[in-house]
């Protein structure tokens, strides 16, 4: 009984469904069995494809800036990034050609395998175990879309990808003993990756041609069915470049009944759902012939196409220009009060403060605003220390004498004594 039930479970899972029988004894372990079955079938030793190859290049956006900001967090993030990629590479059956720094070059024997790897990696990177240092940076913080507030569009390292299909020159590297690829096809694949932004998958027209052949609906022999299909295709022809390929999951072509790895990849693509968007011809760096490029997204991350992460980041800035200018006004008023100018000439007017204040550029960056704000904060702290010393009256001469003897600013001496009292506890600085 159990052997028969287990066989049925695998049959259902291999054809795109879990076992839905509520009385099935394997109900709670079906997902685990599916994973083990898939790995046993398709997780195999690396085999370098030759001839026609789907070439993929990847690169991390803003990696140089992140290495400068958070080197320790970036070191851990790079390991997590490669772990996600290599785990999926083994499951899908791709070949890691090489990696240079934080970039990877991988090859696949089929376009569906390359597509599936890129789409799944983009999804997994969003939920990866990133260090907190990385997630605290403006470049890697979670960004949500209004249409899907429960799943971030961006989170962690943002990786650009490029896919190209063709026949490169292949040769075994004498040092690494791994297959390497050369020639115009490889150069074009690298340039296609450069055209993508972080979190995007850019594909060539050759890849699109293969996709259209694989996902094309089968034609019927009867005239009536031809007429009905032609009318349906004419209705959908305007949106073919940005159509949802998951809508074609009901197709009864040979890939739905085959157990080959490529057929399994096609079924997974249909179940996952993806969208291809035509972005027109682009001039590739160093190449004379322009390429008609497309962007590809998994459905759950389709919101990336209409989002600009840089604008979202700047809209949620830490400091704004008005706050820095208000801090400037407070600093100037306190300096007048601490120097005795207010007591002698009265409160400052807005015009007087404007003349004293230094202009702050309207296009100042966050780093510039932070630097200016830190300068004003230090000046405000000095003013408060001077006012505290004036409050103590009798002890001012003591502080000044001690400052001359030690060559230290009296404000620093007062601050050190206040810290000492607070550490010792039980003493009130106001009642020595």
Minimum mean pLDDT range among 141-145, 185-189, 230-234, 380-384: 230-234
Range of the domain at 13: 1-42
Q: Is there a domain that residue 194 lies in? A: yes
Is residue 292's pLDDT more than 60?
yes
Q: Does residue 314 lie in a domain region? A: no
The tens digit of pLDDT for each residue in 336-373 reads 777 776 656 666 666 566 656 667 777 777 778 888 88
Q: Which residue has the higher pLDDT, 231 or 140?
A: 140
Q: In this predicted structure, what is the pLDDT of residue 69?
A: 92
Do 294 and 353 fall within a single domain? Answer: no
Percent of the chain with pLDDT over 90: 40
Distance, C-alpha 385 to centroid of its chain:
45
- Please state which of the ranges 178-182, 310-314, 328-332, 382-386 shows the lowest mean pLDDT: 310-314
Predicted local confidence at residue 383, as pLDDT? 83
The number of distinct structural domains making up the chain is 3
* Contact assessment for residue 291 and residue 205, using Cβ atoms and an 8 Å cutoff: yes
What pLDDT is recorded for position 229?
A: 41
pLDDT given at position 254: 45
Angstrom distance (rounded) from CA 70 to CA 275: 35
286 shares a domain with 236: yes
Looking at the fold, whether 304 and 350 belong to one and the same domain comes out as no
pLDDT digits (tens, 9 = 90+) for 373-415: 888 888 888 888 877 767 665 555 666 666 666 667 766 766 7
Q: Which residues pair with 201 in a beta bridge?
A: 161, 296
Q: Which DSSP letter does residue 15 get? A: T
280 φ/ψ sector (left φ>0, alpha ψ -120 to 50, else beta): left
**Tens digits of residue pLDDT in 42-100:** 455 678 999 999 999 999 999 999 999 999 999 999 999 999 999 999 999 999 999 98
Crossing angle of helices 395-406 and 410-424, rounded to 10°: 110
List Cβ neighbours of 194 (8 Å cut-off, separation of 6 or more). Answer: 59, 160, 162, 284, 285
Q: Would 74 be classed as within a structural domain?
A: yes
Instruction: Report d(CA 184, CA 189) in Å as an integer.
Output: 9
Query: Are 145 and 153 a contacting pair, CB within 8 Å?
Result: yes
The whole-angstrom separation of Cα 187 and Cα 191 is: 6
Q: Do 9 and 72 share a domain, yes or no? A: no
Contact indicator for 167, 185 with CB cutoff of 8 Å = yes
Helix or strand (DSSP H, E) at 105: strand 103-108
Asked if 105 contacts 53 with a C-beta cutoff of 8 angstroms, the reply is no
Point out the domain boundary residue: 285, 308, 331.
Answer: 308
In a domain, residue 430? The reply is no
Q: Are 71 and 25 part of one and the same domain?
A: no
Q: Is residue 429 part of a domain?
A: no
Say how far apart CA 333 and CA 343 lie, in whole Å. 12
Averaged over 189-218, what is the pLDDT?
89
Q: 9 and 144: one domain?
A: no
What pLDDT, on a 0 to 100 scale, did the predictor assign at position 189?
Answer: 95
């Amino acid at each position: 009984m159990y052997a028969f039930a287990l066989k049925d479970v695998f049959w259902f899972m291999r054809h795109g469904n879990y076992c839905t029988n509520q009385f099935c004894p394997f109900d709670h372990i079906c997902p685990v069995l599916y994973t083990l079955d898939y790995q046993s079938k398709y997780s195999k030793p690396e085999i370098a494809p030759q001839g026609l190859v789907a070439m993929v290049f990847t690169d991390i956006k803003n990696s140089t800036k992140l290495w400068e900001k958070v080197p320790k967090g970036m070191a851990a993030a790079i390991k997590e990034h490669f772990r996600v990629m290599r785990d999926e590479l083994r499951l899908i059956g791709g070949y890691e050609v090489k990696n240079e720094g934080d970039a990877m070059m991988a090859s696949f024997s089929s376009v569906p395998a390359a597509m599936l790897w890129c789409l799944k990696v983009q999804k997994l990177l969003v939920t990866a175990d990133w260090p907190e240092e990385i997630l605290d940076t403006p470049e890697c913080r979670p960004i949500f879309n209004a249409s899907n507030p429960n799943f971030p569009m961006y989170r962690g390292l943002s990786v650009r990808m490029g896919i190209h299909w063709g026949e490169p020159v292949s040769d075994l590297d004498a040092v690494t003993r791994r297959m390497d690829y050369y020639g115009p096809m490889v150069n074009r694949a690298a340039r296609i990756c450069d055209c993508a932004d972080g979190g995007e998958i850019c594909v060539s027209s050759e890849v699109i041609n293969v996709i259209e052949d694989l996902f094309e609906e089968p034609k019927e022999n009867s005239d009536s069915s031809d007429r009905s299909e032609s009318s349906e295709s004419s209705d959908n022809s305007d949106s073919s470049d940005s159509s949802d390929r998951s809508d074609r999951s009901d197709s009864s072509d040979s890939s739905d009944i085959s157990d080959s790895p490529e057929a399994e990849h096609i079924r997974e693509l249909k179940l996952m759902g993806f969208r291809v968007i035509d972005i027109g011809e682009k001039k590739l760096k160093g190449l004379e012939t322009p390429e008609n490029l497309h962007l590809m997204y998994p459905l759950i991350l389709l919101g990336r196409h209409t989002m600009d992460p840089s604008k979202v980041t700047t809209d949620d800035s830490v400091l704004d220009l008005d706050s820095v200018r208000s801090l400037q006004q407070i600093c100037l008023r306190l300096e007048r009060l601490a120097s005795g100018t207010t007591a002698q000439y009265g409160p400052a007017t807005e015009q007087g403060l404007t003349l004293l204040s230094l202009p702050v550029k309207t296009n100042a960056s966050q780093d510039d605003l932070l630097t200016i704000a830190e300068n004003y904060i230090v000046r405000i702290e000095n003013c408060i220390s001077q006012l505290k010393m004036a409050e103590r009256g009798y002890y001012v001469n003591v502080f000044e004498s001690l400052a001359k003897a030690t060559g230290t600013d009296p404000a620093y001496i007062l601050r050190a004594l206040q810290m000492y009292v607070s550490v010792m506890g039980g003493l009130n600085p106001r009642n020595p």
